[in-house]
Amino acid sequence: MITKAKWLLLAAFVICFQSSRSQTGAYADKHRPQIHFSPKKGWMNDPNGMVYTNGKYHLFYQYYPDSTVWGPMHWGHAVSTDLVHWEELPIALYPDALGTIFSGSAVIDKNNTAGFGENAMVAIYTNHNHAMEKDGFDKIENQSIAYSLDEGKTWTKYKGNPVVPNPGIRDFRDPKVSWYEPAKKWIMTLAVTDHIDFYSSSDLKNWTKESEFGKDIGAHGGVWECPDLFPLSYNGEEIWVLIVNINPGGPNGGSATQYFTGKFDGHVFTPNETDTKWIDYGPDDYAGITWSNTGDRKIFLGWMSNWMYANIVPTEKWRSANTIARALALQKTGNTYLVSSLPVKELDTLHANTYEAKNIKAKKADITAKAGKLNGPAILKLSTDELKGFNITLSNNVGEKLVIGYNKTANQYFVDRSQSGKIDFHKDFGKHIMVPRFSATKNTDITLVIDNASVELFADKGLSVLTAVFFPSSDFTDVIITSTEGFVIKSLSFEHLNSAWK
């Protein structure tokens, strides 16, 4: 017979156990993102081999399990059915005699062109040879392939590796492969120091160089890395997008993702313009590329960090998370095509509760007084008929704050993390961060994705995008919108989200 006292003891034990579990659980650490993928432990950088098959989005990533700083690269592996809930799986690719496993891509070989089996998942990656590097050799980066017949669980490396040997160029890496239907061949887009090489192949094993692009075009403040090439349609017209990540040389310092729009004929990429455009102006969206095998839907994901400080951000068991998955689209301003990004609609699956309001005069609008304090991730959406200067301030009870807003004089959206908590690990972390406004309309819409350690701003239907991480000493709880210019919010929604890890 259980007495009342025993029940109380049992209840106390259960409460203690639950709270201690939530304190020590793999995803409950300080600064741990709740709606973004991060590895349980160890170091992560670029997303790799993103491919969709049999209802699952596969995410591989640059991974070093033995430390929280960059080291010998493996491909980590996670899967999701909805781009929001991720399951971390065992490591997919380990370093081998040809080197460690740098960035690359994966495809589903539907027609068995490589002979590894119908629908084989084939990874195309760079082997980076650190031993040869120490000896001063140049040919340290070579492209190799591996295949999996069980959805990425186990892999066989191709005996004939490397499939694209190094011609004597130090930075020669990050192959992104896609199927080019008009000529029924594979195209490899490769980052080569300060330009892109395009290769083609009928079987993923034998590659022919087609052309080069970009030596004198676009941004060149750093090394070109992690490219991607794909078509998007605009009112039925096919426009090709070439993504080129670059480090350093980004618009807010350090790493960033530039892109070009243009034509691709299976051999040559011809850009529409030669100036530089960025997918995301913020400091913390790097090495982003898109999923393969998703049909007309193009889904992009980046590494939510920056090589300026990635190795020293104040997290303990792990370092770095990815951005929210984003749907890419084209918009036209004048004669120019711009690539817009917005969070994927699947983020709605985390919906907990929403506060909605209309026609708010945002001289000082205390959002959390109405909607409830921030207690984890949230999405703030607002629209206005007339954009004026405003600030959205996230703050905690120890006087730290992050300010996101719009400066009308400069016509820029911005993030100010100068008082956001721990910032002294890098001299530039507290610097002003901005993204120009590209839309010329009077009205606007804004979506702000807020997690424990990041904000992602999508303004004007995703034309102006900015991602920034931050590390407050205790999580931000309050959200206030202020405007000295008398900004009127036509409609506002503040959505509390559930953690994706529960």
The number of angstroms, rounded, from the C-alpha of 470 to the middle of its chain's C-alpha atoms is 16
If you write DSSP's letter for every residue of 251-306 in order, what string do you get?
TTSS-EEEEEEEEE-SS-EEES--S-EEEE-SSS-EEEEE-BS-TT--EEEEES--
Q: Is 103 in the site for ligand FRU (CB under 6 A)?
A: yes
**Minimum CB separation from ligand FRU for residue 170, in Å?**
12
Question: Is residue 484 exposed (0-12), middle (13-18) or buried (19+ Cβ within 10 Å)?
Answer: exposed
Q: Is 120 in the site for ligand FRU (CB under 6 A)?
A: no
Q: Is 287 in the site for ligand FRU (CB under 6 A)?
A: yes
**Minimum CB separation from ligand FRU for residue 287, in Å?**
5
**Minimum CB separation from ligand FRU for residue 497, in Å?**
28
Q: Is 225 in the site for ligand FRU (CB under 6 A)?
A: yes
Q: Is 127 in the site for ligand FRU (CB under 6 A)?
A: no
Q: Is 46 in the site for ligand FRU (CB under 6 A)?
A: yes
Instruction: Report whether 449 contacts 324 (CB < 8 A).
Output: yes
Q: Which is nearer to ligand FRU, 225 or 416 (CB)?
A: 225
Q: CA separation (Å) from 38 to 51, 286, 313, 457?
A: 18, 15, 14, 20
Q: Which is nearer to ligand FRU, 101 or 350 (CB)?
A: 101
Q: Is 416 in the site for ligand FRU (CB under 6 A)?
A: no
Q: Is 475 in the site for ligand FRU (CB under 6 A)?
A: no
Among 82, 174, 285, 495, the residue binding ligand FRU under the rule CB under 6 A is 174
What is the token pair recorded at 22? 């939530």
What is the token pair recorded at 211? 């052309």
Residue holding tokens 């690359």?
104
**Minimum CB separation from ligand FRU for residue 104, in Å?**
8
Size of the site for ligand FRU (CB under 6 A): 12
Q: Is 45 in the site for ligand FRU (CB under 6 A)?
A: yes
Q: Which is nearer to ligand FRU, 47 or 421 (CB)?
A: 47
Q: Is 258 in the site for ligand FRU (CB under 6 A)?
A: no
**Minimum CB separation from ligand FRU for residue 196, in Å?**
13
What is the token pair recorded at 428? 């530039």
Q: Is 102 in the site for ligand FRU (CB under 6 A)?
A: yes
DSSP code of residue 325: P
Q: Which is nearer to ligand FRU, 68 or 340 (CB)?
A: 68
Catalytic residue numbers, as ranges:
46
First to last CA, the chain: 35
Report the alpha-carbon distance of residue 195 to residue 216 in Å, rounded: 8
Q: Is 73 in the site for ligand FRU (CB under 6 A)?
A: yes
Report the alpha-carbon distance of residue 370 to residue 375 in Å, rounded: 14
Q: Is 126 in the site for ligand FRU (CB under 6 A)?
A: yes
**Minimum CB separation from ligand FRU for residue 74, in Å?**
10
Q: Is 226 in the site for ligand FRU (CB under 6 A)?
A: yes
Q: Which is nearer to ligand FRU, 225 or 346 (CB)?
A: 225
Question: Is residue 426 exposed (0-12), middle (13-18) or buried (19+ Cβ within 10 Å)?
Answer: middle
- Other CB atoms within a 10 A radius of the CB of residue 411 amount to 13
Q: What's the residue count for the chain?
A: 502
For ligand FRU, the binding residues (CB under 6 A) are 45-46, 62, 73, 102-103, 126, 173-174, 225-226, 287
